[in-house]
Every structure is written in C-alpha cells, then in structure tokens.
Copies of this chain bind each other. A is one copy, B any other.
Amino acid sequence: MGEIGKNITAYRYGDEIMVVDGGLAFPKAHQMGVDLIVPRIDYLLEHADKIRGWILTHGHEDHIGGLPYILPRLPRVPVYGAALTLGLVREKLSEFGLKDGEIDLREVQMGDVVKLGTHFSAEFIRMTHSIPDNAGYILTTPVGQVLHTGDFKLDEHPSDGLTSDLARIEQAGKEGVLLLISDSTNAERPGRTASERDIAENLEEVIKNCRGRVFLTTFASQVHRIQNLLNIAHRQGRRVVMEGRSMLKYAQVAQATGHMQAPEPFLTSDDVGELQDQQLLFVCTGSQGQPMAVLGRLAFGNHAKIALRRGDTVILSSNPIPGNEDAVNLIINRLYELGVDVIYPPAYRVHASGHGSQEELATVLNLARPKYFLPWHGEPRHQINHAKLAQTLPRPPKRTLIAKNGDIVTLGQDEFRVSGTVPAGGVYVDGLGVGDVGDDVLLDRVNMSQEGILIMNAVLHPTPHVEVVTRGFVRPNRELDHQIRRVALESIEQGLREKKRLEDVRDDMYGAVRRFVRKATGRNPVLIPMIVD
C-alpha cells in the first residue's frame, strides 16, 4: 500500500490467518548501500500459530523476492501457486540453501480452489501480466467475497493465448463482490496499455531492417516477450544467444514449466563463430542500466567476449524503473558513442507496461461492481487516481479507502474502515546482514556522502598532539590540516589546564573544530573526535 514493491497481504478471520505473496523492494536513492528491502513481519511472527496457508499471485521479485527471508521464520504451511511461479520460488529458495521439503509448495492450476483453514477458500483466476501464469483470486470468507486482481493488464494477445478470466470476474460481480482490491500502477494513464502482440509486431519490423547483429535487452521475467522474440528470430533466420545469468535462469524455468518453447536451441557467445552477423540475436540482461549486467558491460567495453561495433543494433525493450533513469541514459549515450544503432521507447514502441491503464481498470470495476474498493499496488498518486476513476463509473463503490502499509482494514457486510495498525515498513538487507542497517545508519551514510568525514585522534601523552584524517572532505591540504590540528590542540590544552573531564575535553574539541571547519570551508563533515589518554 502506498508504494510499488514488497507486496504482502494477510487476511484474518477469528483465529485463522492466510497470507498472499511476500515480495521485496529495491532501495531508493537515499537508502544508500542497501541491497534490497523486505517487509517487516512482526505481526505474522506474533501470530505464527494462526497462519493456515499462503498463496502466490505470480513470480515477480516484488511478490516472491522476500520469501527466502520470510518463510523460514514461520511455521511450515501450504504455499499455493501456479507452475511458473513455484518454479521461480524453488530456484530462489535453493539459492538460499533451503531444501526442497522445507517449504510446502503446492502447485495449482488456474480455476483451482484451495481451502486455507476453515474460513478461507481462494480461487485462482487467470489475469494477464508481463509474466505468464499470473493470477488474481477470489477469496470466499465468512463475511463475503473479496476479489483481488493481482498485478494485471487486459492483454487480448498474450504469447500463450491465455487471456484474463473476465467471465469469472463478471460472474463474481453478479454473485456479489464485497471488496475489490485492484492494481493501481497505471491509474494515471488514459486508454489501454498496449498488447504484447503490438510490441512483437514493432520488434519484428525493427529487427527485419537490421543488417548486422541485434542485441535486445528486457526484463528476464518478460517470458511473453522473449517467446515472441524467439519466434521472430526463427522466422528471420537468426539464432538466439542468451546472455546473462538471470536471463538464462528465467528461460530455463519457463522452458521446464512449458511456458517457453525455443524453436532452436539457444547458443552461447562461444559458439557463434560460424554464423554471420545477420544470423544473430543476443538477448541480454541490463535493461535498467546496471553497469555489471550484460548490456552495461557491452556499453562500457568490459564484456569478455563481445565488442559492439558499427553496424550492430541495440534494442532496449524496456523503460527505466523510476530511480534508474540516469543509469539507463548513461548506457544509451555510450551506445551512441560506439556508433551502434540504438532503438528504445518512446521513439520506437518496443515496450509496454505489464499493468492496465484506466480503461482496463474501469472494465474490472464495471464487471466486479464491488461494494467496497481498496486501490492497491501504487503510490498515493496512483491509489487516489484509481479511487477517482471508480467514482466516474456507472456503479461506483459505496466506499473507497486509501490505505497505508500496516493499516488494519476491518471488513464486514456493512463495515469497511481502517481500525488500527500493525508494525510495517522495511527491513534492509545489506551484504549478509538482514535488519542490522537501520535509518540511523543510513543517515550517517547520507551525511558522509554529502560532506565527508573528519577524524581527530588526540593523544595526550607524553605531550598532547592531534592527528587529523579525512575521507571525502577536501583534497589533501596541509595548511587546512595544520589549522584544524591547531584549533583542536588549543581546545584540548585549555581543557587540561582547567582540569575538565576527558569527555568534556573531547566535546570541546568537537565543538571548536566544527565551528572552525564550518567557517573556513562552509562545510559540515561528520566529525569523529577520539582521545587517547
């Protein structure tokens, strides 16, 4: 709620809890050095004995990426999901050294109904998205039906031909939907989101006109698009080279679960020797500008085996996720400088969002006719525009809530309100640490990044002297160093003459140096005063 990332939702009735998804979020710019963020689960830990089961909507990181941090801390309960979703979860759990049986994964088909405890049953309903085997669900509860769309767009032409189950949504609407929880990501975009087929057509047109090698990057989880690409490559006589660890991983899982069919085996960059440039299509990681991913290494000339050259075409079949704009822009500029042709949106329509725009959101609202409405999967701007959109429809919901992370929403036949909160927010994962970096640590990082650090090491015996070390402050500068040492020393000598306590001597030195540095340089480095007696 209120963000796009680290999705997790718990439903409770009486003494039973069921949970949906367990995602991760990527850090924002001010969360410096953090690798990723997983949701706090204090509430689930406290009520662990009540958890009856778990359902997973789809295999994206913001829905399953937190599971290795969450599931091992809770009792073993059934975890339901579709084949591709579970395939990706298995891969993830094994990376974390969790053995197969430790988590009770249970595969479902779309349309299956699973019972979670005595109060809940969830029916998986197919919704199209940028990854196959994507589900929403209808939750039957003692107070009524909840329809949760999951992430979705209404793609009428997904690569697997399996469209969203609107008929089931309409039926639920007729039976009565007490609450609709729906994807708000693109609630500010008018119209409809383009179909994967449109994107495939545009990609085919672009690739048809390429005379040299083609390098394409997209999200590794974009199985629909990559399937379409495999077909395009086959039709145009190009062999596909998969480049990048996650690209290979997703392709492997998707092939194993039957969601990807390669007309010809993939090549590696080692066995392309015989082929002409126009017989090659490289599918690469790095769509978000990561310097160490394949596209990043190609752009910066750091790839061990491949060097881009004039005549190559690079297609970015992706948009930068907010926060990655600068990194992607840098890569694009590098590619231009290398003299390759660079193809990317919006000049070329080679990417579409996985989330529905206003008309699609309206379709679901119109079919479901919910009594209550909870705009979900969006920042406040998206949630509120989704709520406004609902009010423009023929049968607007009776009540809409804009909820925040941690809100307890109480739902009854005639009740829909925020009735309290539970601890929420993120746990930072940094290196091997989970939760040992907090906002206090991040604040130090931000301060050091802006102003640097200045360490004063004062030694009192035999005669007082001060050593000054800085990092990220200013270029080595003898005169300034000398002045800082002098200011620190004068402060210490005065304190010793006045027989102050060592702590006070240290605080005085801190204050004197802070004032001096601010005046002399206009800056406020993080100061570390140390005194050795």
Residue A230, interface by CB 8 Å: no
Name the B residues within 8 Å of A336 (CB-CB): 380-381, 384
Contact flag A471-B448 (CB < 8 Å), given A29-B29, A322-B326, A322-B329? yes
Of listed A323, A449, A467, residue having the most chain B CB within 10 A: A449
B333 touching A380, Cβ below 8 Å: yes
Name the B residues within 8 Å of A380 (CB-CB): 333-334, 336-337
User: B-facing mask of A435-468, CB < 8 A → 1, else 0?
Assistant: 0111011101110111111010101000000010
For A429, the closest partner residue in chain B by CB is: B522
B433 touching A522, Cβ below 8 Å: yes
Name the B residues within 8 Å of A33 (CB-CB): 449-452, 472
Residue A347, interface by CB 8 Å: yes
Residue A532, interface by CB 8 Å: yes
User: B-facing mask of A473-497, CB < 8 A → 1, else 0?
Assistant: 1110100000000000000000000
Complex CA–CA separation, A452 to B473 (angstroms): 15
Name the B residues within 8 Å of A293 (CB-CB): none
Complex CA–CA separation, A336 to B2 (angstroms): 11
Complex CA–CA separation, A295 to B381 (angstroms): 17
Question: Which A residues between 505 and 533 are near B, CB-CB below 8 angstroms?
Answer: 520-523, 526, 528, 530, 532
Complex CA–CA separation, A342 to B475 (angstroms): 45
Complex CA–CA separation, A532 to B469 (angstroms): 13
User: B-facing mask of A347-360, CB < 8 A → 1, else 0?
Assistant: 10000000000000
A448 touching B453, Cβ below 8 Å: yes
By Cβ-Cβ distance, the 7 closest A-B pairs, closest first, are: A431-B522, A449-B449, A432-B522, A444-B472, A33-B450, A445-B472, A431-B523
B532 touching A472, Cβ below 8 Å: no
A532 touching B459, Cβ below 8 Å: yes
For A34, the closest partner residue in chain B by CB is: B450
B530 touching A473, Cβ below 8 Å: no
Residue A332, interface by CB 8 Å: yes
User: B-facing mask of A309-330, CB < 8 A → 1, else 0?
Assistant: 0000000000000110110010
Name the B residues within 8 Å of A453 (CB-CB): 448, 453, 471
Residue A430, interface by CB 8 Å: yes
Contact flag A449-B446 (CB < 8 Å), given A28-B326, A325-B325, A475-B440? yes
Residue A70, interface by CB 8 Å: no
A457 contacts which of B441, B457, B471, B521 (Cβ < 8 Å)? B457
User: B-facing mask of A182-200, CB < 8 A → 1, else 0?
Assistant: 0000001010000000000
For A526, the closest partner residue in chain B by CB is: B471
* New A-B contacts (11) at CB < 8 Å, excluding given A445-B450, A453-B471: A2-B333, A29-B29, A323-B325, A334-B380, A336-B381, A433-B474, A441-B473, A444-B472, A445-B449, A445-B452, A455-B530
Complex CA–CA separation, A467 to B440 (angstroms): 21
Residue A113, interface by CB 8 Å: no
Complex CA–CA separation, A487 to B380 (angstroms): 49
The minimal Cβ–Cβ distance linking A199 to chain B, given in whole angstroms, is 20
The minimal Cβ–Cβ distance linking A428 to chain B, given in whole angstroms, is 10
A437 touching B474, Cβ below 8 Å: yes
Residue A107, interface by CB 8 Å: no
Instruction: Show 15 residue pairs from A and B whose CB-CB distance is below 8 angstroms, ordered by the A residue.
Output: A32-B450, A33-B449, A325-B325, A329-B379, A342-B381, A432-B523, A433-B523, A441-B452, A444-B471, A445-B472, A455-B528, A457-B457, A457-B532, A467-B530, A469-B528
For A530, the closest partner residue in chain B by CB is: B457
B474 touching A436, Cβ below 8 Å: yes
Name the B residues within 8 Å of A381 (CB-CB): 329, 332-333, 336, 342
Complex CA–CA separation, A244 to B523 (angstroms): 24
The minimal Cβ–Cβ distance linking A113 to chain B, given in whole angstroms, is 37
Complex CA–CA separation, A380 to B336 (angstroms): 6
A449 contacts which of B32, B347, B436, B438 (Cβ < 8 Å)? B32
For A473, the closest partner residue in chain B by CB is: B441
B477 touching A436, Cβ below 8 Å: yes
Complex CA–CA separation, A381 to B338 (angstroms): 11
B522 touching A469, Cβ below 8 Å: no
Name the B residues within 8 Å of A28 (CB-CB): 326
For A329, the closest partner residue in chain B by CB is: B322
For A436, the closest partner residue in chain B by CB is: B474
For A320, the closest partner residue in chain B by CB is: B325
Name the B residues within 8 Å of A441 (CB-CB): 452, 472-475
